[in-house]
Amino acid sequence: MRGMTTARIAASAIAPRFVGGGRIDFAERAVPTPGPGELLVRVRANALCGSERHQWQHGAEVVPGHELVGEVVARGAGTTCAIGTTGAAYLMEFCGDCRSCRRGLTNQCRAKTADIGFTRDGGYGAFAVVAERAFFALPADVDAVSATMLLDVMGTGGHAIARAGLVQPERRSLLVLGGGPIGLGVLAMARLLLPGARVRVAEVNRYRLGLIERLGGIALDRGRGSLADAFAGADAPDVVVDTTGKASARHEAMAVLDRCGVLVCVGHGEDLRLEVSRDLISSERAVLGSEYFPFADLAPNLALLRDNRAYLAQIVTHRMPAAELAAAFTTFFAGDCGKVVVER
C-alpha cells in the first residue's frame, strides 16, 4: 500500500472476543492496516489488569488489552520507527498539542483519540495498531514480559508516589490500600525511589500478603483487625495510596493519616466523603487523584527496570500462552497471584 512500509505478514489472524460472563471466543479477523502516523505491532506480551473485569464479565466491542509490548511489523505514512523495533504501547493516544500535552501531562490529554484496549483493539489479539507517538521503543536486552512492568506497575505506581510528593516531600511512611498488581507496583516503586521509607500494604489475600513481604513491604492482614489497630502506637502514615477504589477503605485511611499527610486515590470506583474542617483544614491534609502516568516517565522507569530486573520480576507470578487467555483471566481474578502476563 502506498505510504506504508511493511514486513511480510498474514492477511488474517485469530483474535479473542470477550462475550461476557467470563467467556472468551476466538475467531479469524483481518490484520489491520496502519494509517498515517500509526504502527502495526505483532504482540509479544500483554499483562492482565483489574480494570478489565467489566470487559471480562460484560463483554467488549473491541479486543481488550492495554499493557502490551510488541514488535513493529508495518508502519503508515509519516512514521520513522524501523520495522522490527520492539516497544511498549502507552494506553492513551494523546494529541501532543493540547495544553496538557505541552506541559508533559499526556495522561491528561484534552484531545486524545483513543484508549488502546478500551476504544480501539488492544493487545490480546496477535496484532494491534498503535500511534507512533504513543509507542516507546525498547533496547534489545529487555524482554517483552519484563517490559510490561513499565506500564501499569511501574508507571502508575511511580506516578502515584510522585503525586504524593507534591504535598509531602519526605514520604517516609506510606500505607498502600490493596496488594493487587497496582498496589504491588506502588510498593516496589516506593522501595526503589524512596530508600529507607516504611511501606505498609493492607491486603486480605494470603498469597498476596506473602508477596508483599517478599518485595520488602510490611504486610497488614486486613482480616485480623482495623487500620486503627495496626497503627496503634506506631507512626501514622504521611502518605496513603488507595488502589482499591473502596469508600470504606478510604474513610478508614483518613482516620489514621498523619497531619500534613496526603491520600492519593488511584483506584477508580466508589466515593469519599469528607468533613472539610476536620479532615482537611485543621490537619492540613490533602486528597489527590492519580491517573496512569505521563509518557515521559517511561525513559527513567526503563533505567530503573534495567537496574532492578530480579526484584521487579517477582511481581510477575504467572506467564501463560495467549491460547490460554480465558484461564489467565480466571487465575487473575481468583486473586492468588501477582501480575499475570500472556505471551506469544
Kindly give, in sequence order, each residue whose CB lies less than 8 Å from that of residue 2, ignoring residues fewer than 6 positions away.
none
- Interatomic CA distance for residues 164 and 169, integer angstroms: 7
Q: Is the pTM higher than 0.75?
A: yes
13, three cell numbers: 489472524
Summarize the confidence of residues 73-90 as an average pLDDT.
97
DSSP 117-178: TTTB--TTSSEEEEEGGGEEE--TTS-HHHHGGGTIIIIIHHHHHHHHHTT-S---EEEEE-
pLDDT score, position 1 = 42
pLDDT tens readout for residues 153-203 = 999 999 999 999 999 999 999 999 999 999 999 999 999 999 999 999 999
pLDDT score, position 209 = 98
pLDDT tens readout for residues 20-51 = 999 999 999 999 999 999 999 999 999 999 99
Reported as a pLDDT band with limits 50, 70 and 90, residue 7 is low
- Select 5-138+314-343's CATH number: 1.20.810.10, 1.10.3730.10, 3.40.50.300, 3.90.180.10: 3.90.180.10
303, three cell numbers: 533505567
pLDDT tens readout for residues 220-240 = 999 898 999 889 877 899 999
Among all chains, which residue has been given the C-alpha cell 490537619?
Answer: 283
pLDDT tens readout for residues 202-219 = 999 999 999 999 999 999
Question: 278 or 1: whose pLDDT is higher?
Answer: 278
pLDDT tens readout for residues 280-332 = 999 999 999 999 999 999 999 999 999 999 999 999 999 999 999 999 999 99
- Interatomic CA distance for residues 219 and 206, integer angstroms: 10
pLDDT at residue 140 greater than cutoff 90: yes
pLDDT at residue 3 greater than cutoff 60: no
| CATH code linked to domain 153-289 | 3.40.50.720
Query: What length does the chain have?
Result: 344
Instruction: Report the mean per-residue pLDDT for the chain.
Output: 96
Hey, where are the domains in the chain? 5-138+314-343, 153-289
